[in-house]
Amino acid sequence: MHKSLILLGALLSAAPLAAEDKPPAPAPSEIVAAAPQAHWTAIAQSDLLVMDLAPDAKGKPRRVVIQLMPTPFSQGWIGNIRKLAAARWWDGLSINRVQDNYVAQWGDADGEDPAKARKLPEGLAAVPEGGYVLAVRSDPALFGKVADSIAPLAGTMQEWFATKGASGIRGDRYASSTLAWRGWPLGVEDGQAWPVHCYGMVGVGRNLSPDTGSGAELYTVIGHAPRHLDRNIALVGRVIEGIEHLSSLPRGTGPLGFYETPEERTAIRSVRLGSEVAGLPAYEYLSTESESFAAYADARANRRDAFFIRPAGGADVCNVLVPVRRVKG
């Protein structure tokens, strides 16, 4: 009996670790923190829009940093936004609407009154509604890049469009497939691709169709992702820093969260392109084509760290927000 116990002890000591003895699975934040520098992509300062609001009640500065979308998406509106920033058009205007669990919106509070509205700069483009989506099939370069980004998950792009099968992250009620591409959340269906309304995304306010907005009136999502707006409004960027300065503002008391008096509004000190802002930090995002992002997305969909009892088995594209960080030093 004694020899048998000794032998059993030796066998157990040589056996692989039991499941409960395995190293704990890393949380998504730990995967991001461990991502090597090669997996991060720099954001050009010329692609940033910096909005400085009036200081808060304690005198602390409030800065909101927005990354503008890259080509080929929404470029007509983004061209207008660059012209508006260069003309200092937003300086002295305000945050005019904060609707709970929805959006914060800024621009000219008198924009609907021709007698009071601030004049827009010359040369702004009128972008057609077709600009809300991109025909991927007609853009061989984008076709190839999107195909490369999802090929490990979904096979060839042709098969993907033919079957509307697996996506970069997970299909949902609003698109046949969704994926993160070059750092941005996209929906794809029937040969078209479009950016989607996740938390922090920035869109262009407009009137009724066929108006598509000039880019002078902007909003950001501060609540649950309003995906029903996808393909109905232009998305032009996302807030990468300072969203708390918008999401924490008092909710508007008027219809749709609009402020009813000038005193309720938060003033905009200035809006500038990042290349014009002295001392602006450098930023970078975790490349959505990197192994680190694939591991991060998997961990978001299947939480295996100690707190979780049952992995969800999937994640909405808006639940896999692309990590952005300041460059150290």
pLDDT at 28: 95
The DSSP H or E segment spanning 187 is strand 184-189
The DSSP-derived string for 35-74 is --GGGEEEEPGGGEEEEEEPP-TTS--EEEEEEEPPTTTT
Closest Cα partner for 150 from 171, 135, 174?
171
CA angle 109, 113, 119 (to 5 degrees): 75
pLDDT at 165: 32
Distance CA 205, CA 203 (A): 7
Amino acid 12 reads: L
3-class DSSP state for residue 250?
A: coil
Report CA 239 to chain centroid distance, whole Å: 7
Determine if the peptide bond prior to 72 is cis (ω within 30°). Answer: yes
- Largest distance between two CA atoms of the chain: 100
E strands along 197-319, which residues?
201-204, 218-221, 235-241, 266-273, 283-286
Report CA 117 to chain centroid distance, whole Å: 31
pLDDT tens-place string over residues 269-292: 999 999 999 999 999 999 998 999
Q: Where does residue 285 rank: exposed (0-12), middle (13-18), buried (19+ CB within 10 A)?
A: buried
> Between these two residues, 190 and 165, which has the higher pLDDT value?
190
Question: How is residue 27 annotated by DSSP?
Answer: P
Distance CA 197, CA 220 (A): 9
pLDDT tens-place string over residues 18-30: 445 677 889 999 9
Cα–Cα distances in angstroms (integers) from residue 234 to residues 2, 73, 320, in the given order: 77, 9, 21
pLDDT tens-place string over residues 215-273: 999 999 999 999 999 999 999 999 999 999 999 999 999 999 999 999 999 999 999 99
Report residue 64's pLDDT band, with 50, 70 and 90 as the boundaries: very high
* Contact call for residues 172 and 316 (beta carbons, < 8 A): yes
Distance CA 288, CA 40 (A): 9
* Contact call for residues 234 and 213 (beta carbons, < 8 A): yes
> Between these two residues, 144 and 164, which has the higher pLDDT value?
144
Amino acid 55 reads: P
